């Protein structure tokens, strides 16, 4: 198929539930010379989103899906999709894919657009929960037992059901929980005839999906050198031009902002992955260590070199459960010693409300957390603001009782006239308590998950190879630390590297890419796991592991127990570790004088 030069173009229109409404229309309107995309794909389901969807469905059973997909994205492009033969794949179904499909059917009928909609089902494994609890199931990360009341439990499915739905003639495929990259890999399997045993090709297609699954993060969004990325307001969403050999080019629509740059694409490759030599997905175990990422021209980056291994025999399952309630209140403090006044204010609110709880016979908070925004609280010992004169106090609390949090909410505003001078705020309305939805992760054998595709009143069973190959983790990178030497100067890591961070549960990953290949040994010998662990000692409770990616002159750090539980469980201002790469880029690195002069020139 490579000989005939076939190219499949896929546009990534959503990186999360809440992404911009402009994306779908921008991608559907065409590329250079009137070229059109073949597929429009949407990724909505971050782990945090699953918790939000579980909460919404508990209030309204007809919800539980990403409503923006139907009400905003599809409404804006539905007539054009049929006119140009563009197919759509989306995991907007969340925990209610049939409800999502029903809503899209109603919209299509209203607009007079005929549409064949397939629904992938089988990810919901909540009926297995009682038996799994009786069997003593524990969380795969924390070892905690399965909670008594589970709100949802969904397996991360792969791309095979999507490919089968497209082969059956679907115009739109709606899935529930699947891995983010599956909405892209499915179309590539269908178009190029890739099979379950084509592991290198499946790894390449998964990488293509991984690059565009976060929308504009592939077109300059979140790039370390943000000042080199123009026109944020009109930033282009990513398009990949995929070939049958698994290689692809990342680009974007003409006349849009942003910039497709090799280092920005490299940052995205490392975003939210773990072991880069054994990145586990349902269809394949990917090895990205020798991937090459090359600038081919203005806004064109070629990616090739992914390798694959047989998949494991199980699916990861993400379950959600309710663990009481959470409330967070804020106040602005202005003036001399603002940070100290703000912290004392937060402590006084907690002390006062605990006193009220005691009188009413209510238990203490299950957790509380004070942050001073504007005083670099997240930086811990590396904070350097000095005497900040304008800060925001944030107090977050968890409690088993909603009544207790109503008391907490009532006792925030009185600080405006009771304690610190300069206390104010743009809005002093009482914050409301919301259910605290947490996650529980485990694995389930593939043979125990029954997957089907519903299309046009028919239901097709999807046969997924069970897999039986043991997972072999990659050996961590263990290059020794560089001893201190004369003739060096301290420069921040950002002079030598680009970086991006993300999360997987309570694990933060930080990908670090050398700006030049010759910088990598210097980075590796100073940015050791021990040094990174020490730098983040105020945040990271577990071990730090480093992996090498020689293909892009990079390394990937995994920081365990780093996010205060991660996701909805975390009480931090940055529960997803988005700022951790930015903090690490400030870390001083001893650079030889000659190189320092070159970098400072």
Beta strands in 446-543 (DSSP E): 451-455, 458-462, 488-492, 497-504, 507-514
Instruction: Clarify whether residues 289 and 350 are in a common domain.
Output: no
Instruction: Clarify whether residues 506 and 424 are in a common domain.
Output: no
Q: The domain containing residue 273 runs over which residues?
A: 2-122+157-311
Which residues fall within 8 angstroms of residue 343, CB to CB, at 6 or more apart?
Answer: 370, 372, 393
Q: How confident is the model at residue 484, as a pLDDT?
A: 65
Beta strands in 202-337 (DSSP E): 239-242, 248-251, 279-280, 285-287, 292-297, 300-304, 307-309, 314-334
Instruction: Clarify whether residues 215 and 282 are in a common domain.
Output: yes
Six token digits for residue 255: 């006349």
Residue 92 inside a domain? The answer is yes
Phi, psi of 204 (to 5 degrees): -65, -45
The domain tally of the chain equals: 3
Q: CATH no. for residue 372?
A: 3.30.70
Instruction: Clarify whether residues 222 and 193 are in a common domain.
Output: yes
Instruction: Clarify whether residues 564 and 524 are in a common domain.
Output: yes
Among residues 437, 463, 496, which one ends one of the domains? 437
Residue 288 inside a domain? The answer is yes
Return the closest-CA partner of residue 52 out of 62, 64, 60, 42.
Answer: 64
Residue 460 inside a domain? The answer is no
Residue 189 inside a domain? The answer is yes
Instruction: Clarify whether residues 304 and 342 are in a common domain.
Output: no
Residue 452 inside a domain? The answer is no
Instruction: Clarify whether residues 395 and 502 are in a common domain.
Output: no
Among residues 420, 437, 454, which one ends one of the domains? 437
Give the pLDDT means over successive 10-residue stretches in the chain (601 positions). Answer: 76 95 93 85 86 81 93 96 95 96 97 97 96 95 92 95 98 97 98 97 98 98 98 98 98 96 98 96 98 97 98 95 95 96 98 98 98 93 86 97 97 95 85 92 96 96 89 87 79 98 95 97 95 97 97 98 93 95 97 93 81
Residue 223 inside a domain? The answer is yes
Instruction: Clarify whether residues 307 and 338 are in a common domain.
Output: no
Instruction: Clarify whether residues 307 and 359 are in a common domain.
Output: no
CA dist., res. 264 & res. 71, Å (int): 31
Q: How confident is the model at residue 4, as a pLDDT?
A: 63
Residue 296 inside a domain? The answer is yes
Q: How confident is the model at residue 88, as a pLDDT?
A: 98
Residue 451 inside a domain? The answer is no
Instruction: Clarify whether residues 540 and 425 are in a common domain.
Output: no
Q: How confident is the model at residue 572, as a pLDDT?
A: 95
- What is the three-class DSSP state of 599? helix
Instruction: Clarify whether residues 55 and 95 are in a common domain.
Output: yes
Instruction: Clarify whether residues 298 and 360 are in a common domain.
Output: no
Among residues 287, 311, 335, which one ends one of the domains? 311
């Amino acid at each position: 198929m490579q000989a005939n030069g076939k190219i499949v173009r896929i546009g990534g229109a959503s990186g999360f539930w809440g992404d911009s409404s402009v994306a779908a229309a921008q991608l559907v309107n065409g590329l250079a010379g009137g070229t059109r995309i073949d597929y429009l794909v949407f990724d909505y389901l971050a782990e945090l989103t699953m918790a939000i969807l579980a909460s919404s469905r508990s209030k309204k059973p007809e919800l539980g899906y990403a409503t923006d997909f139907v009400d905003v994205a599809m409404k804006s492009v539905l007539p054009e999709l049929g006119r140009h033969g563009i197919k759509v794949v989306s995991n907007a179904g969340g925990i209610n894919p049939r409800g999502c499909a029903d809503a899209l059917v109603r919209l299509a009928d209203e607009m007079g657009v005929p549409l064949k909609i397939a629904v992938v089902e089988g990810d919901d494994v909540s009926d297995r929960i009682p038996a799994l609890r009786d069997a003593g199931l524990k969380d795969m990360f924390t070892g905690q037992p399965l909670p008594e009341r589970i709100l949802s439990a969904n397996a991360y499915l792969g791309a095979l059901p999507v490919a089968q739905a497209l082969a059956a003639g679907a115009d739109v495929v709606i899935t529930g929980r699947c891995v983010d990259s599956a909405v892209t890999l499915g179309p590539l399997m269908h178009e190029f005839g890739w099979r379950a045993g084509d592991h290198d090709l499946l790894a390449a297609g998964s990488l293509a999906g991984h690059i565009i699954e976060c929308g504009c993060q592939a077109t300059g969004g979140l790039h370390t050198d943000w000042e080199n990325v123009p026109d944020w307001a009109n930033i282009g969403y990513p398009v990949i031009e995929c070939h049958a050999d698994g290689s692809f080019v990342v680009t974007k629509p003409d006349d849009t902002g942003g910039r497709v740059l090799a280092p920005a694409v490299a940052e995205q490759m490392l975003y939210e992955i773990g072991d880069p030599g054994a990145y586990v997905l349902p269809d394949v175990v990917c090895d990205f260590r020798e991937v090459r990422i090359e600038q081919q021209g203005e806004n064109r980056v070629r990616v090739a070199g992914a390798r694959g291994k047989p998949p494991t025999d199980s699916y990861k399952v993400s379950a959600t459960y309710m663990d009481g309630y959470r409330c967070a209140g804020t106040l602005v403090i202005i003036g001399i010693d603002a940070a100290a006044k703000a912290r004392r204010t937060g402590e006084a609110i907690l002390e006062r409300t605990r006193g009220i709880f005691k009188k009413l016979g209510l238990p203490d908070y299950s957790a509380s957390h004070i942050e001073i925004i504007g005083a670099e609280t997240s930086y811990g010992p590396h904070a350097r603001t000095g005497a900040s004169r304008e800060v925001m106090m944030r107090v977050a609390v968890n409690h088993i009782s909603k009544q207790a949090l109503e008391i907490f909410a009532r006792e925030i505003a009185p600080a405006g006239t009771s304690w610190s001078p300069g206390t104010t705020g743009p809005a002093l309305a009482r914050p409301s308590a919301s259910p605290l939805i947490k996650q529980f992760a485990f694995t389930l054998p593939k043979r125990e998950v029954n997957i089907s595709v519903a299309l046009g009143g028919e239901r097709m069973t999807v046969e997924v190879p069970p897999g039986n190959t043991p997972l072999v983790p990659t050996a961590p990178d263990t290059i020794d630390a560089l001893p201190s030497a004369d003739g060096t100067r301290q420069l921040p890591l950002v002079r030598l590297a680009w970086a991006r961070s993300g999360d997987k549960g309570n694990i933060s990953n930080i990908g670090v890419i050398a700006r030049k290949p010759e910088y990598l040994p210097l980075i590796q010998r100073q940015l050791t796991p021990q040094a990174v662990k020490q730098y983040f000692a105020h945040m990271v409770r577990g071990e730090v592991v480093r992996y090498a990616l020689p293909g892009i002159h990079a390394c990937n750090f995994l920081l365990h127990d780093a996010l205060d539980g991660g996701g909805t469980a975390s009480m931090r201002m940055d529960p997803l570790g988005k700022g951790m790469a930015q903090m690490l880029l400030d870390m001083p690195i001893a650079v030889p004088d000659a190189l320092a002069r070159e970098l400072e020139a």
